[in-house]
Amino acid sequence: MHVPHPIWLHSAKITTAKIFLSNGEKKVSAASIIHVLTLGVKTGTELEVIAEGEDEATAVEDVVKFIAELED
């Protein structure tokens, strides 16, 4: 997956919730492109989006939408 980092960081930082991604083996902060890259995500990799905080439901929806749009 190629993710332009300014957009990625913006998506993860526009919320007060802390956002994490997990590949099933490792959980990392979505606010750090370096951490996200350590997941070794490739086309077809399933990711779990996890958010903790006041607006966590909205944060998860926004990140899922962002990732889905990358696939188009």
The model's pTM is 0.76
How far is the C-alpha of 29 from the C-alpha of 35, rounded, in Å? 6
What are 12-68's pLDDT values in tens digits? 556 788 889 999 999 999 888 889 889 998 888 898 999 999 889 988 888 888 878
pLDDT at 6 exceeding the cut of 50: no
Instruction: Detail the DSSP E strand segments found in the chain.
Output: 18-22, 27-29, 48-52
